[in-house]
Chain A
Amino acid sequence: MTRTVPKTFIGRNPSVLWFLLALAIFTIGVTLMAQAGFVSTSFVKTLGKTLCLCLIAVAMDVVWGYCGILSLGHFAFFGIGGYAVGMWLMYARTENIVATSLSGRPIPPTEQEVIDAIGTQIFGVVGSSEFPLIWSFADSLFLQLLAVVLVPGLLALVFGWLAFRSRVTGVYLSILTQAMTLALSLYLFQNDSGLRGNNGLSGLQNIPGYEDVSQASLSIAFFWASAVALAAGYVLFAWVISGKMGSVIRAIRDNEARVRFLGYHVESYKLFVFTLTAVISALAGALYYPQAGIINPAEIAPIASIYLAVWVAIGGRGRLYGAVIGAAFVSLLSSWFTGGGAPDINLGFYVIRWTDWWLVLLGLSFVSVTLFFPKGIGGLFDMIVINRPVTDRQGDYGPDKGAWRREEGQE
């Protein structure tokens, strides 16, 4: 029964084509509805942000679902990406405002006066007007975009190298990544961190140079950019996890000691996956925050990365579309519940307000998905699409902590 394996990438991974098709229909549909006035600008922004969250969820799925590294730090990379692009947005916009207000003067302002005025505008809230060192390149969009990729990439590379080299795995690695995230967010909370402390960066929805363009058009532009980024990221990761690379990565998840004895340098592979996913997370963040309009250190707090893991678990880890479904479904549901969309339930003696009870509901669904549906929502798709005979397994797929449990393989 040696069936012929299709040679083309799409032929071997038909789900990629289906995903791209669904994404294209969704994007065009939302655009048409927005132009017809059925969908508000703020909802287009919410959907655009959701697409960015889907992208980081796909990255999380690759690092956790495929490589077995439960990273609780990917939202830190997401946040760094947001900060990097936010610095330019804020600087360039303030520069325009300052230039307008100073242009009325009889004597043209010197360059230093302009820079000082920008500094006062930006850092007034933290009682300073000096530009900290990390703002050195804030006037250059190109350099800040480079920072979106390089800073998280280098951080992931150094952190990952230290962690993987010492063979920290499983829960301990998760704790370590969480500690990194916490340290970063606590640092950013300080006023003298140079990034406006807990005020964060704001006004990011105003794109310098496009002041005349309405938010409605900008929101559609960012929505499209997010959709393209998600599509590109999805295809990239689908390509990485297909073929032999995917084979080795999944093997590392299930039994990394055995992979070592085959001659693969496991640490290099983990580092590759960790760094690549960190960079993609940062790109997702760089697209997310101009739509959100504001970034502050609370966004980076460890809880965000834990939510990310919850999305991927509910969506179904180990399948890329599962991560997308999980992120979209849970984050949209979350904004519906916490935004007052869900009606309160009056039990007579007690009123269930979903703004308070949503987290409890989310926690319960996380626990029950983990216990009863380890394949998540994505697993439902598998049941419809894949007609594989149920394998009769006796145990788990490997001895390592990240290895597939028995239930996950029944497809």
Chain B
Amino acid sequence: MSTLLEVSGVSVTFDGFRAINNLSIQIAEPELRAVIGPNGAGKTTFMDIITGKTRPDEGRVLWGDKGISLLGLSESDIARQGIGRKFQKPTVFEAQTVRENLAMALRNPRGPFDVLFSRGSAKADKGISEIAEEIGLLDQLDRISGELSHGQKQWLEIGMLLAQDPRLLLVDEPAAGMTPSEREHTTDLLVRAAKTRAVVVVEHDMEFVRRLNCKVTVLHEGSVLAEGSLAHVTANQDVIDVYLGR
């Protein structure tokens, strides 16, 4: 187990509001990590910083074995480094079919001319079918994804992440809007994915986090309040005060 992502001393201020305050987190590979915290604790901003959407005012974000700084890279560069992100609200391309969505996400050269001359392949078709089977959408491949149910869209988005084959998967509230059985399926999938790669799950739902059965980081006001097993952090008095006690 080696360190894949190292966030150290990162701070971000939005119009005087300190959203992230001297935050330091390390993620290993492979690892499953849950990040919890009350609203406004900086969970989403934390993901924005890693994926290049928000630039921090200070601090370092180092990636991979060579310790590349992610701060100088664009969003698409960071994604190509192997960081995949799932948003809170399912964001799939609704005007396109499930197959097209997955084909776009599939790990392949991303340059305009590579894409222009890429005309599908048996290998790509096979990859798409495998992922579609995993997310239970094999029958729906040629449907417009806008027609899918909310839960199926969540699945499609998770499928797109798997197709990207990232080393680090950032997942924002994966279980929102899912039925209990779908949640169980999601948990299994995330646990399985975390066997070979790093997975960071941001979640509100404590029951869901309990089932992930992994190391938990509690954020509060933009910095780490506690870290450890779920039993450990829930026993922490600070955590009870700011989060669980309410």
- Contact residues on A (Cβ < 8 Å of other chain), bracket: 20 to 34
Contact B142 A1 (CB under 8 A): yes
Q: How far is the CA of A260 from the CA of B84 in the complex (A)?
A: 11
Contact A265 B74 (CB under 8 A): yes
Q: How far is the CA of A397 from the CA of B160 in the complex (A)?
A: 18
Chain A residues near B160 (CB-CB < 8 A) = 262
- Nearest residue in A to B75 (C-beta to C-beta)? A260
Q: How many A-B contacts if CB must be within 8 Å?
A: 101
Contact A265 B141 (CB under 8 A): no
Binary CB contact string for chain B from 112 to 148 against chain A (1 if under 8 A, 0 otherwise): 1001101110000000000000000011011010110
For residue A9, give the distance in angstroms from its CB to the closest CB of chain B.
Answer: 9
Contact A255 B93 (CB under 8 A): yes
**B189 proximal to A (CB < 8 A):** no
- Nearest residue in A to B150 (C-beta to C-beta)? A394
Chain B residues near A409 (CB-CB < 8 A) = 94-95, 144, 146
For residue A388, give the distance in angstroms from its CB to the closest CB of chain B.
Answer: 8
Chain A residues near B144 (CB-CB < 8 A) = 391, 409
Q: Is the interface of A mostly helix, strand, loop or mixed?
A: helix
Chain B residues near A268 (CB-CB < 8 A) = 111-112
Binary CB contact string for chain A from 377 to 411 against chain B (1 if under 8 A, 0 otherwise): 00000000000000111000110000010000100
Central interface residue in B95, B105, B139, B147, by most chain A CB within 10 Å: B95
**B60 proximal to A (CB < 8 A):** no
Tell me the residues in window 223-254 of chain A with beta carbons closer than 8 Å to chain B beta carbons: 240, 243-245, 247-248, 250-251, 254
- Nearest residue in A to B140 (C-beta to C-beta)? A1
**B91 proximal to A (CB < 8 A):** yes
**B110 proximal to A (CB < 8 A):** yes
Contact B146 A393 (CB under 8 A): yes
Contact of A251 among B104, B120, B164 (CB under 8 A): B104
Contact B95 A250 (CB under 8 A): yes
**B28 proximal to A (CB < 8 A):** no
Contact B91 A263 (CB under 8 A): no
Contact B142 A248 (CB under 8 A): no
Contact A261 B75 (CB under 8 A): yes
Chain B residues near A260 (CB-CB < 8 A) = 74-76, 79
For residue B91, give the distance in angstroms from its CB to the closest CB of chain A.
Answer: 5
Chain A residues near B119 (CB-CB < 8 A) = 243-244
Q: How far is the CA of A255 from the CA of B101 in the complex (A)?
A: 13
Chain B residues near A164 (CB-CB < 8 A) = none
Given A3-B142, A391-B146, A263 and B80 touching (CB < 8 A)?
Answer: yes
Chain A residues near B43 (CB-CB < 8 A) = none
A and B contact pairs by CB, cutoff 8 A, 6 listed: A2-B142, A5-B142, A247-B100, A259-B104, A263-B79, A397-B95
Among all A-B residue pairs, the 10 with the closest Cβ atoms: A263-B79, A260-B75, A263-B80, A272-B112, A265-B76, A397-B95, A247-B100, A251-B93, A245-B116, A397-B94
- Residues of A participating in the B interface, judged by any CB pair closer than 8 Å: 1-3, 5, 240, 243-245, 247-248, 250-251, 254-255, 257-266, 268-269, 272, 391-393, 397-398, 404, 409
What 7 additional pairs, Cβ within 8 angstroms, besides A250-B96, A255-B91, A258-B93? Answer: A245-B112, A258-B87, A258-B91, A260-B76, A262-B79, A263-B80, A397-B94
- Residues of B participating in the A interface, judged by any CB pair closer than 8 Å: 51, 53, 74-77, 79-80, 84-85, 87, 91, 93-96, 100, 103-105, 110-112, 115-116, 118-120, 138-139, 141-142, 144, 146-147, 160, 164
